Structure 1
Amino acid sequence: MPPITSLRLSLRPVCLFIAALFLLAASLPGQETELPQIQVKKCEDFEVTGKGDAPQWEQTEWTALNRRGAGKLDYTARFKMLFSEKGVYVLFDGTDEVLTATMQEDFLDLWNEDVFECFFWTDEKHSVYFEYEISPLGYELPILVPNLDGRFLGWRPWHYEGDRKIVKRVSATGGSNESMAQVSGWSAEAFIPYDLLKPLQNVPP
């Protein structure tokens, strides 16, 4: 079998759902909308800095995230993805004015403040997905979520250390990575190892 050099993902919950509030624009009633797809390229492993300045990122394009519904703020958001023999790399970038982030600990309810998040549902036969959130201050929430007949609750990873621990960094533009700081935007970069995603199906891809 030839080596895998890229993956084609449909931007639907089965494979990937990034920044849920922005991803897919609402479709018109009675109109079918073709789901967008991205091609995720394979790379050699590299150091995560939070700035997306590794040369590996140059081999892939940004994917813009579209707002769902109307909103008062005209912020933009985008992401990139790569995968290696050891895991998945995700790079988030968005505009902002104030870093609304006060929580100073991992595994808190980060989604109530500014956050980037991604969801991995690797096999639609099983109603279990992995969710990852990261705040502008670098605090994170990695959880495995079973959804059983509409009843769901996140479970924290066990032995979250060593090769199972996510490598992540954040950076801000136009300001500092501090709570309530005035900025023009911020970015986050994360490496999610396959070892953490076990025993989900189709991992590695």
Structure 2
Amino acid sequence: YFLFSCQDNKLTSSMNADFMDLWKEDVAEVFLWPDENYPTYFEYEISPLNHELPILVANTNGDLLRWQPFHYNADRQTDHETAALGGEKKPGAAVDGWVAEFFIPYKLLIPLNHVPPHKGDRWRANFYRVDYDEPKSVSWLWQLTKNTFHDYESFGSIIFN
């Protein structure tokens, strides 16, 4: 389960469907890398308008290959919701911010190794937010990365209890 509380003045979000290039507008993202032996991780993106992009990313020396989940339904599908704070949830709306919450089922993360996690397992992860308000976009990361937010070797660690 993940919860993002995003300060924002304007919802820079116009994409009106799932599986679009959400990273080009306001977005919150989670990266989960359960097995450090393989450069493949899960990325989940959600827009303020509640559209999502769940993908597996193979990152070989910065060359990114992405796959969308197959049979993305029932117990393999995320449960997600967003809300605008202090304004309407619509493209270009003036707001005080927005909130995104989502649940990623472990079944969606298969075929990654070490899924589901067991007590004491350590996964690498990062949490990312981009605000595309004018005149310049601003981004936040839980763990700073060196060159790009896809620098998975700079992800932080989460330990399951």
TM over 0.5: yes
Matched AA of 1:158: F
Within 2, Cα distance between the matches of 1:93 and 1:177?
15
Q: CA deviation at 1:125?
A: 0.4
- The residue number in structure 2 matching 1:107 is 19
Q: CA deviation at 1:148?
A: 2.1
- The residue number in structure 2 matching 1:196 is 108
Q: Which residue, out of 9, 25, 47, partners 1:135?
A: 47
Within 2, Cα distance between the matches of 1:151 and 1:115?
22
Mapped pair 1:187 → 2:109: no
- 1:29-54 residue CA offsets vs partner (Å, 9 max, x unmatched): xxxxxxxxxxxxxxxxxxxxxxxxxx
Within 2, Cα distance between the matches of 1:119 and 1:149?
17
Within 2, Cα distance between the matches of 1:146 and 1:126?
8
- The residue number in structure 2 matching 1:78 is none
Q: How does 1:51-90 map to 2 (within 5 A)?
A: 89-90=1-2
Q: How does 1:10-159 map to 2 (within 5 A)?
A: 89-159=1-71
- 1:148-173 residue CA offsets vs partner (Å, 9 max, x unmatched): 23321210000000000000000111
Q: CA deviation at 1:200?
A: 1.1
Show structure 1 runs of 4+ deviating over 3 A: none
Name the % identity.
Answer: 55
Q: Secondary structure at the match of 1:163?
A: helix
Length-normalised TM-score, structure 1: 0.56
Within 2, Cα distance between the matches of 1:185 and 1:104?
19
Matched AA of 2:31: F
Matched AA of 1:107: F
Q: Which has the higher contact order (CA 8 A, sep 6+)?
A: 2
Mark the structure with the bigger radius of gyration.
1
Matched AA of 1:118: V
- Structure 1: segments with no counterpart, 5+ residues: 1-88
Q: CA deviation at 1:145?
A: 0.5
Length-normalised TM-score, structure 2: 0.71
Q: CA deviation at 1:137?
A: 0.3
- Structure 2: segments with no counterpart, 5+ residues: 118-161
In proportion to residue count, which structure has more strand? Answer: 2
Using the TM superposition, name which of 143-152 and 173-182 deviates more.
143-152
Aligned-residue RMSD, C-alpha: 0.8
- The residue number in structure 1 matching 2:150 is none
Within 2, Cα distance between the matches of 1:179 and 1:148?
35
Matched AA of 2:14: T
